[in-house]
């Protein structure tokens, strides 16, 4: 009869509820902002459907709002969060998944922003299907990123890299 452990030898002990909340705070913070992005994306995407009741100006303004929000969110992450987290976590370093996903999303934004701006200025007629096609070009990476980043910041992962004292010193 062989003996085997139910968990890996280097498995960490279960967290208390209080420790879980402590280690999970960045994931909760990020999930809050990501949910706002998801909600705006869903409204915008619904507005690109044939027969949508969203007026063209509303669609354009909502789309530009989404783009500004996503760009601003990424700017804060890359300037403030990633340099700190990247000290110990590969995912947040220059070649980590988070920055690579940001680059892919920004390819979509680099198409969507000028498209919507041209529509706003009257240089192009708004065609909802064109906006939808641009959104589809980066939807998968966006939604994957929103989930991956929160998972990476979750309690079970954060405690692998950071002590509570180190996390208390985070500037965010």
The tens place of each residue's pLDDT in the chain, 172 residues long, gives 444 444 444 688 999 999 999 999 999 999 999 999 999 999 999 999 999 999 999 999 999 999 999 999 999 999 999 999 999 999 999 999 999 999 999 999 999 999 999 999 999 999 999 999 999 999 999 999 999 999 999 999 999 999 999 999 999 9
Q: How far apart are alpha carbons 97 and 55 in whole angstroms?
A: 37
How high is the pLDDT of residue 151?
98
| Residues 112/134, Cβ–Cβ less than 8 Å | yes
Residues 34-53, buried b or exposed e (16+ Cβ, 10 A)?
beebeebbebbbebbeeeee
Phi, psi dihedral angles at 56 (to 5 degrees): -50, -45
DSSP string, 53-68: -S-HHHHHHHHHHHHH
How high is the pLDDT of residue 11?
82
How high is the pLDDT of residue 28?
99
Q: Where are the alpha helices (DSSP H) in the chain?
A: 17-47, 56-76, 82-85, 97-120, 128-152, 155-161, 164-168
């Amino acid at each position: 009869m062989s003996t085997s452990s139910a968990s890996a030898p280097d498995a960490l002990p279960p967290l208390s509820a209080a420790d879980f909340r402590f280690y999970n705070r960045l994931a909760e913070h990020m999930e809050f902002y990501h949910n706002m992005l998801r909600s705006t994306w869903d409204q915008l995407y619904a507005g690109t459907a044939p027969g949508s009741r969203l007026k063209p100006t509303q669609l354009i303004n909502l789309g530009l709002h989404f783009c500004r929000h996503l760009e601003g969110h990424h700017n804060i992450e890359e300037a403030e969060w990633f340099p700190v987290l990247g000290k110990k976590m590969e995912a947040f370093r220059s070649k980590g998944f988070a920055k690579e996903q940001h680059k892919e999303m920004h390819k979509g934004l680099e198409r969507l922003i000028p498209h919507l701006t041209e529509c706003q200025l009257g240089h192009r007629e708004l065609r909802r299907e064109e906006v939808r096609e641009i959104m589809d070009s980066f939807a998968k990476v966006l939604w994957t990123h929103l989930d991956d980043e929160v998972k990476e910041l979750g309690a079970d992962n954060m405690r692998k890299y950071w002590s509570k004292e180190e996390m208390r010193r985070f500037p965010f």
